[in-house]
């Protein structure tokens, strides 16, 4: 067994370069997959289950659940989801450009164990550096030159599992209603196993160094390290390899500290939850954030400086999310745009007649009624923001727009789809 990296894991020695030789020198070779298919499946099932690996794409479900869904499938399709539709996230791009072979190793062990028919690496059509990094890595691997890189449209919704599979199947990025996850998804008659790039990279480490080693980091319920993109009001924004269990304050310190006080933070991406200044000691793990009604999601923290207007920022986020929906049902086509208009009035009007109870009534009409979970994420974000920034909301209702509402946003948005 190779010698395991000590502190950093996914990003250990990444400054040595992304090439295959540097990768093998850093992590050693992958263990050989031996035995008949049932033996291989049982062995990998046990390894994934004992590691406690959770999906890193946002849902946080045990990775063994997806594996078990495909355990008896004949020649499935393995999909590497590197779409990174969350505008605030950069972790998959960092993995692709600094450790692409670790991601491909994770896909390889699944493909070999399950006798996959094909492997597809999905990269958004505006992420050329990521696609080029994977193309170069695939070209270095003689047995992987048949792997395909697909370029779905760069939309927020396009990276959702069912939307991605639909695009690969018939060229339409439309999510489908799935009451439970995981559930079967198919591409042109073959069942598919879709994993986020970081999940596969973690699997490659587990295969090399074992489940016990993996559990040495993180918490009992959230084992292993996690990549977290930290943005907004910090001195050193970027992607950190985080050991779950530390506080939000410690994560902010690791990103260089605050630039202008702490007004709150959005955790879990644009379908996540706001937390307030009283939550600086919150534990940054799945279970720690769940206790607050928040979610770790795909590992995103956007810090809101104390000088920023949270009402204006919520209006921008909801407007963006309204524009990113598939528009295939009423909550997305009509509910989200109406919610965005109400928030824009509340944020910018000199006198506002928008009441909080009206916003909650509109959210009640939207929540849980969409064809997918996209509108539910917007409702979760807004409900948490209204709860934690209630004084700001009350001030806008009583006095109208504040001067801070005119400041540029701290949230990143694609240039072509940036809200006002």
Q: Show the domain range for 330.
A: 310-417
pLDDT confidence bin for 172, thresholds 50/70/90: confident
Instruction: Supply the pTM of this predicted model.
Output: 0.94
- For 323, residues 6+ apart whose C-beta sits below 8 A from its C-beta are 417, 419
Consecutive H or E run containing 63: helix 63-70
Judgement on whether residues 77 and 163 belong to the same structural domain of the protein: yes
Residue 4 pLDDT: 57
Judgement on whether residues 206 and 291 belong to the same structural domain of the protein: no
Whether 420 shows a pLDDT value over 70: the answer reads no
**Residue-wise pLDDT tens digits, 259-314:** 999 999 999 999 999 999 999 999 999 999 999 999 999 999 999 999 999 999 99
Residue 32 pLDDT: 85
**Residue-wise pLDDT tens digits, 112-171:** 999 999 999 999 999 999 999 999 999 999 877 678 999 999 999 988 888 999 999 888
Residue 170 pLDDT: 84
| Cα–Cα distance measured from residue 317 to residue 313, given in angstroms and rounded to the nearest whole number | 6
| pLDDT, mean of residues 310-320 | 96
Judgement on whether residues 327 and 400 belong to the same structural domain of the protein: yes
**What percent of the chain is modeled with pLDDT above 90?**
71
Whether 10 shows a pLDDT value over 70: the answer reads yes
Question: What's the N-to-C CA distance of the chain in angstroms?
Answer: 54
Number of domains in the chain: 3
| Cα–Cα distance measured from residue 64 to residue 45, given in angstroms and rounded to the nearest whole number | 7
Residue 149 in domain: yes
Judgement on whether residues 68 and 151 belong to the same structural domain of the protein: yes
DSSP label at residue 321: H
Residue 220 in domain: no
Whether 69 shows a pLDDT value over 90: the answer reads no
pLDDT confidence bin for 180, thresholds 50/70/90: low
> How many Cβ atoms are within 10 Å of 256's Cβ, its own excluded?
13
Residue 14 pLDDT: 76
Residue 221 in domain: no
Residue 271 pLDDT: 93
Whether 63 shows a pLDDT value over 70: the answer reads yes
Among 246, 270, 304, the domain boundary falls at 304
| Cα–Cα distance measured from residue 352 to residue 243, given in angstroms and rounded to the nearest whole number | 44
| pLDDT, mean of residues 382-406 | 93
Residue 104 in domain: yes
Whether 1 shows a pLDDT value over 60: the answer reads no
Residue 298 pLDDT: 94
């Amino acid at each position: 067994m190779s010698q395991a990296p000590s502190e950093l894991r996914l990003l250990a020695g990444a400054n040595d370069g992304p090439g295959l030789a540097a990768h093998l020198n850093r992590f050693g070779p992958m263990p050989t997959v031996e035995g008949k298919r049932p033996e291989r499946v049982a062995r990998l099932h046990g390894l994934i289950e004992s590691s406690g690996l959770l999906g890193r794409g946002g849902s946080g479900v045990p990775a063994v659940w997806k594996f078990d869904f495909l355990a008896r499938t004949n020649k499935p399709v393995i999909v590497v989801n590197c779409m990174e539709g969350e505008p605030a996230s950069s972790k998959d791009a960092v993995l692709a450009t600094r450790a692409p072979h670790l991601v491909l190793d994770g896909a390889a062990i699944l493909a070999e164990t399950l006798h996959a028919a094909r492997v597809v690496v999905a990269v958004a059509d505006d992420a050329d550096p990521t696609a080029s990094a994977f193309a170069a890595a695939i070209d270095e691997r003689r047995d992987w030159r048949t792997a395909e890189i697909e370029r779905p449209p760069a939309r927020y919704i396009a990276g959702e599992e069912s939307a991605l599979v639909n695009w690969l199947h018939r060229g339409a990025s439309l999510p489908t209603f799935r009451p439970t996850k995981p559930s079967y998804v198919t591409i042109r008659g073959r069942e598919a196993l879709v994993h986020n790039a970081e999940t596969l990279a973690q699997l490659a480490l587990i295969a090399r160094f074992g489940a016990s080693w993996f559990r040495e980091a993180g918490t009992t319920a959230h084992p292993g390290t996690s990549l977290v993109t930290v943005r907004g009001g910090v001195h050193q924004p970027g992607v950190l390899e985080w050991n779950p269990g530390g506080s939000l304050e410690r994560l902010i310190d690791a990103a260089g500290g605050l630039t202008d006080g702490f007004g709150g933070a959005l955790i879990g991406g644009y379908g996540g939850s706001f937390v307030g200044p009283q939550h600086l000691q919150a534990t940054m793990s799945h279970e720690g954030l769940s206790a607050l009604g928040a979610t770790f999601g795909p590992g995103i923290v956007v810090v809101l400086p104390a000088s920023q207007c949270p009402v204006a920022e919520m209006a921008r986020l909801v407007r963006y999310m309204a524009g990113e929906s598939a528009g295939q049902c009423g909550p997305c086509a009509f509910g989200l745009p109406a919610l965005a208009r109400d928030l824009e009035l509340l944020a910018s009007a000199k006198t506002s007649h928008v009441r909080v109870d009206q916003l909650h009534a509109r959210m009640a009409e939207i929540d849980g009624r969409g064809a997918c979970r996209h509108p539910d994420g917007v409702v979760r974000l807004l409900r948490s923001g209204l709860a934690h920034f209630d004084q700001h909301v009350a001030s806008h209702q009583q006095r109208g727009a504040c001067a801070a509402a005119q400041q540029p946003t701290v949230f990143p948005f694609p240039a072509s789809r940036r809200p006002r």
